[in-house]
Structure 1
Amino acid sequence: MNYAVIFAGGTGTRMNSKTRPKQFLTLHGKEIIIYTLEHFENHPEIDGISVVCIEGWIDYLKKLLDKYQIKKVRWISPGGATGQESIYNGLNAMRGQIADDSIVLIHDGVRPLIDEELITNNIRMAEKKGTGITVVPAIETVMLVNEANEIVQSVDRKNCRVVRAPQSFKYKEILAEHDKMKKAGINDIIDSATLMKQAGYALYPVEGKPENIKITTPSDYYTFRAIVEAEENSQILGL
């Protein structure tokens, strides 16, 4: 069985939106979070979805789920103070209700430009290797700096990957590591891939597409809009 944890607990301060959080901004009348959820809703191998949402927007989310006929969302949890806490809330909501060996795909609610192939490839890699981490190649020069903010080393970008999402794990393993962090009072680990790497797990890459961006700034939103409109035009024109 395969499940998705979609975290949309952030307030989106970098988006400069005065009216609503970034995950509830709309494109062509549809909210970004719905674009994201539909990919998992429509995937034949996803058995259930756990959504983490800003507490004050949960009722609104429920209305959207009904409006767009999103049936696979079985759990809705309030967001935490950090991304790590939000992911933990989404995982914890499923505790005792799904099998330990289930695969869980952890994904950003504001990363709507995924597709069925990427979800499938994450599932296959996690089935085979125990983890599956979406990455894209680094296309620019990467350098390391020291504490004095001096450039100290150039890194061969052929060996560099930019980590994105979904990030996929066995449920029992990812939940256990999050439990350990919560017990230790650690709540600021940047993402689950970092958490699992620190715990000693091997991480295996799943090649994603460059357009699988996270929408956090106005320019990201405009990029999202351009890509969606280009896809719509190609369908209309038969390209």
Structure 2
Amino acid sequence: MNIALVFAGGTGIRMRTTGKPKQFIELYGKPIIIYTLEVFERHPQIDNIIVPCVAGWEKYLADLVEKFHLKKVKKIITGGVNTQESKLKALNAIRSTCKDNDIILLHDAVRPLVTEKMISDNIMCVKKYGSAVTAVPFTETGIISDNGEETQKTIIRNTLYIAKAPQSFYFKDVLRSHTLGQNMSYSITIDTVSLMTELGEKVHLVPCTTTNIKITTPEDYYIFKALVDLKESRDIFGM
């Protein structure tokens, strides 16, 4: 099986909203998380979707899943106090039904511009190499500064990539890594590919477009809106 774990545990402090967590903010009457879930729902290779949800919003999400007819969402669980805990809780929640070589795709609820191709490429990459991290080349000059005031070093940008999502692995490998990650610092284990790399694993890169953004600020929301509007214009006018 191919299982998507779509994490909706954030509260969205940087979004500066006073009500809903960022994943439930709407665009044209549809919450951001639904845009995300619909891509996985439509993908023919995705069998099940599991959603770790911010505490107190589980029923709200369940109602949305029903309203938008998302049949592949099999479980909504309460997320942990941080990303690492949410991932381990989600993996343990499917432990009794997963086989070692089931493919797990980890994705952010607030990354709604994931495409069918990105999902397909992740699945194919895991089958070929055993792992996948969706990534884009770094296009700016990288600067290291210990104090935030002066440069200590610049980094050659053609060696740098920005890790995005999905990040995909065989179930046995990602469960083992996140179990080991309980004894490591939170700063290291917040991201699965960072955890895997810290544990000495090689993770294969899967290219994606720069539009695969994570919505964490109001500016991100308006970029998302512009990209949705552009796609709609292309669909209508054949642009």
CA distance in structure 2 between the partners assigned to 1:2 and 1:237 by the alignment: 35
> What residue in structure 2 maps to residue 105 of structure 1?
105
> What residue in structure 1 maps to residue 223 of structure 2?
223
CA distance in structure 2 between the partners assigned to 1:168 and 1:110 by the alignment: 17
- SS for the counterpart of 2:56 is helix
Q: TM-score, normalised by structure 2?
A: 0.96
- Which one-letter code corresponds to 1:74 in the other structure? K
Query: Does 1:115 pair with 2:115?
Result: yes
CA distance in structure 2 between the partners assigned to 1:24 and 1:216 by the alignment: 12
Q: Residue by residue, what CA displacement relative to the aligned partner does 1:71-124 show, whole Å, maximum 9, x if unpaired?
A: 111121111111111111221111111111111110000000011000000111
In the alignment, structure 1 segments of 5+ residues that lack a partner are: none
Kindly state the Cα deviation for residue 145 of structure 1 after the two structures are TM-superposed: 2.4
> What residue in structure 2 maps to residue 177 of structure 1?
177
CA distance in structure 1 between the partners assigned to 2:148 and 2:107 by the alignment: 34
- Asked if 2 retains the 8 angstrom alpha-carbon contact of 1:50 and 1:91, the reply is no
- SS for the counterpart of 1:224 is helix
- SS for the counterpart of 1:55 is coil
Query: Does 1:58 pair with 2:38?
Result: no
Percentage of matched positions with identical amino acids = 44
> What residue in structure 1 maps to residue 168 of structure 2?
168
> What residue in structure 2 maps to residue 33 of structure 1?
33
Kindly state the Cα deviation for residue 150 of structure 1 after the two structures are TM-superposed: 3.9
Kindly state the Cα deviation for residue 203 of structure 1 after the two structures are TM-superposed: 1.0
Kindly state the Cα deviation for residue 181 of structure 1 after the two structures are TM-superposed: 2.2
CA distance in structure 1 between the partners assigned to 2:235 and 2:148 by the alignment: 52
- Which one-letter code corresponds to 1:59 in the other structure? K
> What residue in structure 2 maps to residue 2 of structure 1?
2
> What residue in structure 2 maps to residue 94 of structure 1?
94
In the alignment, structure 2 segments of 5+ residues that lack a partner are: none
> What residue in structure 2 maps to residue 192 of structure 1?
192
- Asked if 2 retains the 8 angstrom alpha-carbon contact of 1:75 and 1:94, the reply is no
- SS for the counterpart of 2:5 is strand
- Which one-letter code corresponds to 1:211 in the other structure? T
CA distance in structure 1 between the partners assigned to 2:144 and 2:203 by the alignment: 22
> What residue in structure 2 maps to residue 76 of structure 1?
76
Q: Residue by residue, what CA displacement relative to the aligned partner does 1:190-214 show, whole Å, maximum 9, x if unpaired?
A: 2000011111110110001101100
> What residue in structure 2 maps to residue 136 of structure 1?
136
Q: TM-score, normalised by structure 1?
A: 0.96
Count residues in correspondence.
238
CA distance in structure 1 between the partners assigned to 2:73 and 2:103 by the alignment: 16
- SS for the counterpart of 1:221 is helix
CA distance in structure 2 between the partners assigned to 1:229 and 1:132 by the alignment: 30
> What residue in structure 1 maps to residue 204 of structure 2?
204
Kindly state the Cα deviation for residue 186 of structure 1 after the two structures are TM-superposed: 4.5
- Asked if 2 retains the 8 angstrom alpha-carbon contact of 1:142 and 1:155, the reply is yes
Change (3 A) 1:54 1:162: same
- Which one-letter code corresponds to 1:236 in the other structure? I
